[in-house]
Structure 1
Amino acid sequence: MLDIKMIRQQPDVIKKRLATRGVKEETIDKLIEKDVLRRKLVVESEALKQERNTVSEAIAQAKRNKQDASEQIQAMKEVGAKIKQLDEQLTVIKDETHDIAARLPNLPNPTIPVGADEEANVELRKVGTPRKFDFEPKAHWDIGEDLDILDFSRAAKVSSARFVFYKGWGARLERAIYNFMLDEHAKEGYTEIIPPYVVNHNSMYGTGQFPKFTEDVYSIKDQDMTLIPTAEVPLTNYYRDEVIPEEKLPVYFTAMSPSFRSEAGSAGRDTRGLIRLHQFHKVEMVKYTKPENSYDELEKMTTNAGNIMEKLGLPYHVITLSTGDMGFSAAMTHDLEVWMPAQDTYREISSCSNCEDFQARRAHIQYRDENGKLQFVHTLNGSGLAVGRTVAAILENYQNEDGSVTVPDVLVPYLGGLKKITK
């Protein structure tokens, strides 16, 4: 959430920066108008409460002196009624102000590209050279079904479209990939966590999924609980409503978890294969840092994700997302996109974001600086990596003309020495 004081003091600056994220000026004007009214009502209510306290003391004194205080008592009844009315108005205005503020996205970092969508994204670097095939490369879903390691049709029967059964070496490959990823992140100083896969609505609010994106998740009926769309949610809320000791910063967490997404609004996109499922595994990285270090930590996180790709021998590039393509809570995002031979293009496999203090304000996560003053931490999150998309990339990049798939060297020990998946 954005600092209301900052909005109040720099309305034109905020309007200009949020306009690049599709926020209309009138939305900010409405927020400021309600904030002005809220503060006015607070002043009026507090003044009447002070008057009531003062007169109540006078009434008590009059009673002790056996003096008539009926007029004062009647006046205080009227004051009490006004206070009640003001407080009721204040509750409504507070809720309306909060609702507007809670739906505003984070301020984009001034250095990122400005644009309406992915067309404005900027490539930072390419790593690795896409393989040149001497045969027509097949799509990963065809490879997986031919090898009998992926079963989409039975998953659709059991669940619905956009689910999959991993079978045999397919299941073991998925497990090998996320074990490899977790081991690599542990070497980089991340503490491995097994988080809850169901969280309450306060947690979803803390990371910015609620209230704006309630249609994108699977909520449990009649309960204040939601299946996690990513392990970012429980990991970032780990310190919700807490003050982290300064000496603990930075904190690095990593976790493998299932992720559940309704994929609202994605009808017709990636209907085949592992790219856009309702349920998939992802290894997540989350950091809590001091503000002055957060952008250095973003570069380190992006490098951590890239190292996984390089050790797996997968060609990729890194792009900085534009203001219009970036996620709601992010101030800056670097996406890593892996080369997919069958599609002849790069596809997202990791997204690393610095949320600055946006999530920390919503979740009330602070630390006490060297002067003893409470400050909000900066939070960062990134995929390290999306496991199903990594499976897809390996199947396509390591496929052979006979339909088999060569296992990347780093995964061979995780697969009991298997070097090639065959029928």
Structure 2
Amino acid sequence: MFVDKAKIYVKGGDGGDGLVAFRREKYVPEGGPAGGDGGNGGNVIFRVDEGLRTLVDFRYQKHFKAERGEKGRNKSQHGANAEHMIVRVPPGTVVIDDDTQEIIADLTRHGQEVVIAKGGRGGRGNTRFATANNTAPEIAENGEEGQERWVVLELKVMADVGLVGFPSVGKSTLLSVVSGAKPKIGAYHFTTLTPNLGVVDVGDGRSFVMADLPGLIEGAHEGVGLGHEFLRHVERTRIILHVVDMAGTEGRDPFEDWLKINEELKLYNAKLEERPQLIAANKMDIPDAEVYLESFKEQLAARGLDIPIFPISAVSKSGVQEMLYKVMDLLETIPEMPMVEELVDLSERKVYRLEEGDDDSFVIRRDNEAFVVESPSIEKLIKRTNFSTQEAVMRFARILRKKGIDKALRERGAKDGTTVRIGDFEFEFVEQE
């Protein structure tokens, strides 16, 4: 089953919690804090595997969550970091953030890796909070939450040669006679609903990958017919082999067909107009094909275009071998990497969302009788604070005062007992004496 689009949920592992512990040994009075840090959560990493050709696995598994880090240990020992989760994807996979529609990664090379959801950092143990004024702190942090997001995976077929053309011009038949592929073939439009790949052995020790792509119709760039489901696969091909029904068996003019398909390609992505193109004049074994071919060449010359045309018959295989030699010769003269406008080199780049910094900005608004404080840095602090000890609560209060939130609440009219809400955390405002 060929699946070229999937939507999945990914979440990096949460960091392990830090530990509150103290050194308890004979002959070591007041041993001091000994709580270790929690381990980091695992990342969700996408890795390209050239053995995969479809996204079908993501139809059955849609949630990918990395493991969380271990909690800190006593004797100042750190918890173990979690193992990263490796998710294998086929070459040609584009990863898109479902919320922003931003392209996160464009994965094309075997073994290429990218972190899609970063694991959270482990929380600090009480060893980290010891100071000259507080040599036995009872404070430890919770682990940071891992990144989470919904992403859309789109597969753009990686092929050397892409067969394009109107429905029923003979693309599937051509692929079947030049390779071992067995595409569905029928005498009706849109027999081919998904791309078919085949390895073409030219016969002189050389070979290339050919893709039979679903037929185009007018308006495809706007999604008409198979529309974008087809066009995105054309972007990956190094050569466009335009198959034309030169006998006009569908009652259409071959040259008009060729013009319309090229217009659809250009409207979808202007870069496709620059892609090397060859024309396979198919069905030359049918009467009147020679007449149409001469007319086609004349109209092409009148426009000042010099595009190689190969008269062939996919059914009888006439002229097919000569065409394959020319295709292979042309492939050897152009770059191997797909010429895609948005192709991103991710060989060094690993993380795609910046870490939230310690931004001191905040906004205070009223919600009936309560005050709501909106501050990403404070909300992040709340998630990492373990409020089970009085010392941790006092530390949190000191940070609010230092950031000026206490003063701002007071200026807005907050008094003793007023409800204050920050994220999902709710508490009563206490006026300091």
TM-score (norm 1): 0.24
Larger relative CO (CA 8 A, sep 6+): 1 or 2? 1
TM-score (norm 2): 0.24
